[in-house]
A and B are shown apart, each in its own frame.
Chain A
């Protein structure tokens, strides 16, 4: 009830046209967290996301599939070969002629090169590998590729971000551009910069992807969420990354 009231207040406040956040005012979700949650994220011996990173490291070195090769067989040390990779995904995939996100790319490598069974999105193993690869880019600036073939999807992402949806008729921008200083049911609204994904969310008590997070928001405004891996999510990821360009990656992030 409280959340609903707060949402109504937001709705009214949200009528002011949503404007993009000026570069100087951009803040990572970390800035909105309590000192305690920040401390958990910043200490690798306390950050539960590191459990998934460790699992990812094991999988990285473990041969899989009919090809009998591990990720390391081709890519070698992830610390060098994967450094900065997560910072530039989603990227353009020439094979399918469409943008592909990091989770999709990992799975493509698994099925086509390792000849292994596809890892379902949001499975522990898929999240572990994504967290391990994301972790190699920690501290690096988000650098969405300057690739003209991605422009259409990025524009589509921006359009989706600004499109009202669901029974509550809210767009992402109604909260995350226009009301990011506010609070919703006691929680900070935040600016929705995807700096720490996959994140360990205390509410989930597990690691989840950016798509799971977006799904949560869509369910929250009572819209029907897209399917995991849908082109719409990848377009949104592309737009969010261009919106958060140059912000440092924190993977694995911890969020309330």
Chain B
């Protein structure tokens, strides 16, 4: 089950700086830990996060093993036009989780 929590203001004025937040439930297993009987727990982290605003990428980040589980990212962008913000998390296996939020710009 994909569990994501994204937030962006529903409405904004053109040219306004808006705060955007995105969080995903993910173990971010570092690959450095041992399980029972000293067996290594395989690495499983999100590698890449990106946010598109109306089809154009406005933010992206590389994630590394030292990040906590359930990573939370906050950033800002300039509201230009009404459209969809889409969020993409790509993990080690290439699996992509997505989420979206709509913003109306006046």
Contact = CB atoms under 8 A, between A and B. Distances in A.
Contacts of B23: 45-46, 48, 51
Interface residues of B, number: 15
A45 B70 contact: no
Interface string B1-37: 1011101000000000000010111001000000000
B3 A46 contact: no
Given A51-B23, A202-B68, 7 more contacts: A45-B21, A46-B21, A48-B72, A51-B4, A51-B70, A54-B5, A206-B69
A51 B3 contact: yes
24 contacts: A45-B5, A45-B23, A46-B23, A46-B72, A46-B74, A48-B23, A48-B25, A48-B70, A48-B72, A50-B5, A51-B3, A51-B4, A51-B5, A51-B24, A51-B25, A51-B70, A55-B1, A55-B3, A58-B1, A202-B68, A205-B28, A205-B68, A205-B69, A205-B70
Interface of B: 1, 3-5, 7, 21, 23-25, 28, 68-70, 72, 74
Nearest to B69: A205
Contacts of A46: 21, 23, 72, 74
A50 B1 CA distance: 15
Q: Which 5 A-B pairs have the closest CB atoms?
A: A205-B69, A45-B7, A51-B25, A48-B70, A51-B3
